[in-house]
Amino acid sequence: MKNRDGEGGNIAGYLDYLDSVRGVSPRTMSAYGRDLRHFAAYCANHDILPEKATPPQVRGFIADLSAEGTASVSVNRALSSIRGFYRWLLRFGRRSDDPASSLRNVSVPKTLPAFLWEGEMAQFSRLPDTAGILWPQRDKALILVMYSAGLRISELTSLATRDMEADFSGAVITGKGNRQRQVFFLDEAREALRAYLPLRQDRIKAERPTDKVFISGKGAPLSIPGARWIISKYAQRLGPGKNIHPHSLRHSFATHLVNSGCDVRVVQELLGHASISTTQRYTHVDIERLRNVYTKAHPHGGQRK
C-alpha cells in the first residue's frame, strides 16, 4: 500500500481508502491529510501511535488546537477527520473502540454569509459589459451561470458541455460525494452562454480539445484559482464595503430564493446540501433583513443603542 508523506501505515491506509473507495474530492483529501498529519505529530510528541490514542489524548489534541487560536470551523473539521479515521479502524477490525465518540464539536460563532441583494446582484452581473477587462462574454456567462444555478466554484469549473441541456435551460451537476442534481439557468444566463460559446470554440486548440464550458483566454480549462481571480477582479469594481468571493454568488442565489418564499427543502435540493440544517441558515438571513427593515422603519428604531 502506498505511503503518503511518511505517515504511519494506518493513516496512509485510511487516506487511500478515502481516495480509491469513497472517491473523496482532492480538496477534501488535502484537508483530511493535513489534519491527520497534525494529529500524528501530536501523538508522536506524546510517544503514542494515533491508532492507540485514548479519549483523553484525543481530547488533549482538540484542546491544544483551540488554545493555539485555531478557528472553530477548522477545529471541527480536524475532529471530523479524526472521527472518520477511527470509524475506519473500527470497521476493519483494527480497533475495538472509538476514542473520539464522546467528543462534541466546538461552538461556531453564527455569522451571516456574504451575499448580494437582488439589485446588487443585477449590477454585478452587468459589470463585464461595462468594465472593459478580461473576457467580457465569458465572464458574464460565468457569473450568471454560477448565480442562477447556485453552483460551488468546483462545480462551475468542472461543468462540461455534455452536462448541459441542448437549449441551455439547465444542467446535471455532480457535486460533493458524487451526488448528482438538476439545476436550472435563468434566461439571462442562457443568453450569455449563447454569446460566449461560439467565442469559446474559436479559442480551443485542436491539439488540446476540452469539453469544459469555461476556459482561459489560451483555450485551457479554467482552474478554480482562475475562476476565483476573475470574480475578485469584478468584485473590486463594486467598491469598498463588500467582501464578495465566488461562494457569495451561491449564497446570493439561496438568499434570494428563501426571501421569495421558496420552500427551504427545495432550496436544499437545488444547492445539493446533504443536510437541511446547512440550508436553514438562509432563513436567518431573511430574519436579519426583516430586523433591519423594522429598525429603520419603526419611529423609535433609530434610538436603539
Query: Which residues on neighbouring strands pair with residue 173, listed in sequence order?
Result: 181
Q: Which of 37, 190, 250, 251 is catalytic?
A: 250
Helices (H), the chain: 9-17, 26-45, 55-67, 72-91, 118-131, 136-149, 153-158, 187-203, 224-235, 246-259, 264-271, 276-279, 281-297
Q: Is 109 left (phi over 0), alpha (psi -120 to 50) or beta?
A: beta
Give, to the nearest 10 degrees, the angle between helix 26-45 and helix 72-91. 80
Question: Can 176 be counted among the known catalytic residues?
Answer: yes
Question: Can 4 be counted among the known catalytic residues?
Answer: no
Give, to the nearest 10 degrees, the angle between helix 26-45 and helix 55-67. 110
- DSSP-derived secondary structure letter, 6: T
- DSSP-derived secondary structure letter, 54: -
Q: Which of 83, 203, 247, 289 is catalytic?
A: 247
Three-state DSSP state, 115: coil
- State the Cα–Cα distance between residues 147 and 200, nearest whole angstrom: 20
Q: Which of 4, 77, 140, 152 is catalytic?
A: 152
Q: Which of 176, 181, 203, 284 is catalytic?
A: 176
- State the Cα–Cα distance between residues 197 and 138, nearest whole angstrom: 8
Query: Which residues on neighbouring strands pair with residue 180, listed in sequence order?
Result: 174
Question: Can 77 be counted among the known catalytic residues?
Answer: no
Question: Can 181 be counted among the known catalytic residues?
Answer: no
Question: Which amino acid is it at 234?
Answer: Y
Q: Is 130 left (phi over 0), alpha (psi -120 to 50) or beta?
A: alpha
Residue 59: CB atoms within 10 A of its CB come to 15
Cβ 184 vs Cβ 190: under 8 Å = no
Question: Can 91 be counted among the known catalytic residues?
Answer: no
Question: Can 234 be counted among the known catalytic residues?
Answer: no
Catalytic residues, by residue number, are 152, 176, 247, 250, 273, 282
